[in-house]
Amino acid sequence: MTVRREGNTGDKTIAPPRELDEKPRTRPVRMMRWFVIVGVLLALLVGGLVGFNAFRAHMIAQFFANNKPPAVTISAVEAKSEVLPNLQRAVGSLAAVHQVNVTSDVSGRITDILFTAGSRVTKGTPLVQLFDKPEQGDLANYKAQATVARLALDRAKQLAARQVGAQVTVDTTQAAFDQANAGIAKTEAIISQKLVRAPFDGVLGVRQVEVGQFLTAGTQVVSLTDLSTLFANFTVTEKESGRLSVGQTVRVSVDAYPGKKFEGRITTIEPQIATETRNIRVQATIANPDDILKPGMFADVIVVLPEKPPVITVAETAVEYTLYGDSVYLIKEKKEDDGKTSLTVERTFVRTGDRIDGRAVIEKGLQPGDKVAAVGQLKLQSGAAVEISKDPLPQIPEKPPLN
């Protein structure tokens, strides 16, 4: 295609097609230049934002690195390898070895009360006198009959020896004499029953009768208890019974005397298992110094079993018991960048065993010599810095406090 150009003079010039194609290309070059400029600016802006965020994060990290929280003050204990007493715990009650409600064997009216309630008596001490005048009269009558019969028997024997009297007379008088003596023995037995006596040494209880009261046979007069020795009756499971044997030492404690132990020995193990509970009854005999223990008291019983091998233990307060498992805070040494050594804690899960006298057995998770936090765990978490207090550990109470 040919284009004509006309000037003022009217000359016509024919322009080649290349000149026409070069003029429109100036606009796309300018647009590309603007795109490049805008892209560079956006890149600078994004780079500035990224750099600013990185710088801010670095400064925040540096700030927290230089401003660590203060170390938590705790009390620490050391895990030890020791031989703990092998104990079997049970609960039971105390019972008297000798205890009875004193009663009368015969009926009668009380004429005299010869004891003071709560006093200590010995075997044979008179307690209550019943009316026995008729029996005393019968006794005198039988004694008189016995005297007459003895005289008649002696005379009959003398006559028979001289062959003057018959042998039948001797036999008759002998029978009369024996009958009179039998009457004396029976009446004396009734009279002895009219006087109620203590069957053994012990302490009397509350008086249940009054002077002038008609006492029927079998009615309780007073209770009598021998407090010098008591039984501790308790039960163990079928599984635990295999570790018990007669003669093993037991330690008994009661709520009335906290902190005090009473020692004894197992004297009886029931030979059969209760089908209802699958438990076995065990009875121990314990001494009762000063008669301070009373029958019927609730008792905590500890049976001392043969010793076990050494185990690892820590203070019971060092163990945290949760639904997720038992754990301790293990204290570790950490070297800082400046070369100094600091202490940190790490929560370590452990497997616990028995708990005896404020010590907890650690079956798995610790080694002898490891230090763990014993007081102040509520303020700790894994990785926390700590410092060990020099104050002594608080005493463990004999029994947990009541809510």
Residue-level pLDDT, tens digit, the chain, 403 residues: 444 544 444 455 555 555 445 555 555 667 777 878 888 888 888 888 888 888 888 888 777 666 667 778 888 888 999 888 888 889 999 999 999 999 999 999 999 999 999 999 999 999 999 999 998 898 899 899 888 888 888 888 888 777 776 777 878 888 988 888 999 999 999 999 999 999 999 999 999 999 999 999 999 999 999 999 999 999 999 888 888 999 999 999 999 998 899 999 999 999 998 888 889 999 999 999 888 999 999 999 999 988 888 999 998 888 998 888 899 999 888 777 666 778 888 999 999 988 887 888 999 988 998 999 888 878 888 888 888 887 777 666 555 544 3
Q: Please indicate, yes or no, if residue 109 is contained in any of the structural domains.
A: no
- Taking Cα atoms as reference points, which of 96, 74, 91, 100 lies closest to residue 390? 74
Gyration radius of the chain over CA positions: 53
Residue 79's CATH number = 2.40.420.20
Q: Please indicate, yes or no, if residue 218 is contained in any of the structural domains.
A: no
Predicted confidence at residue 402, as pLDDT, reads 46
Whether residues 80 and 62 share a domain: the answer is: no
**HSE-up (13 A, CA, CB side) for residue 33:** 5
Over residues 204-262, the pLDDT tens digits come to 999 999 999 999 999 999 999 999 999 999 999 988 888 899 999 999 999 999 889 99
Instruction: Name residue, tokens 């044997």.
Output: 245
Q: Provide the domain count of the chain.
A: 4
Collapse the DSSP code of 246 into the 3-class scheme (helix H, G, I; strand E, B; otherwise coil) and give the result: coil
- Domain stop point among 181, 197, 213: 197
pTM exceeds 0.85, yes or no? no
Q: What is the DSSP letter of 45?
A: H
Residue 156's CATH number = 1.10.287
Give the C-alpha separation, 272 to 10, whole Å. Answer: 144
Whether residues 1 and 59 share a domain: the answer is: yes
Q: Please indicate, yes or no, if residue 185 is contained in any of the structural domains.
A: yes
| Cα separation values, 105 from 28, 128, 130, 137, 375, Å | 138, 12, 11, 20, 68
Q: Please indicate, yes or no, if residue 137 is contained in any of the structural domains.
A: yes
| Cα separation values, 3 from 13, 23, 148, Å | 8, 15, 192
Whether residues 58 and 78 share a domain: the answer is: no
Predicted confidence at residue 155, as pLDDT, reads 83
Whether residues 325 and 296 share a domain: the answer is: no
Residue 243's CATH number = 2.40.30.170
Q: Please indicate, yes or no, if residue 214 is contained in any of the structural domains.
A: no
Whether residues 192 and 238 share a domain: the answer is: no
Q: Please indicate, yes or no, if residue 206 is contained in any of the structural domains.
A: no
Q: Which domain holds residue 191?
A: 129-197
Q: Please indicate, yes or no, if residue 147 is contained in any of the structural domains.
A: yes
Q: Please indicate, yes or no, if residue 102 is contained in any of the structural domains.
A: no
- Domain stop point among 281, 305, 329: 305
Residue 92 tokens read as 């039971």
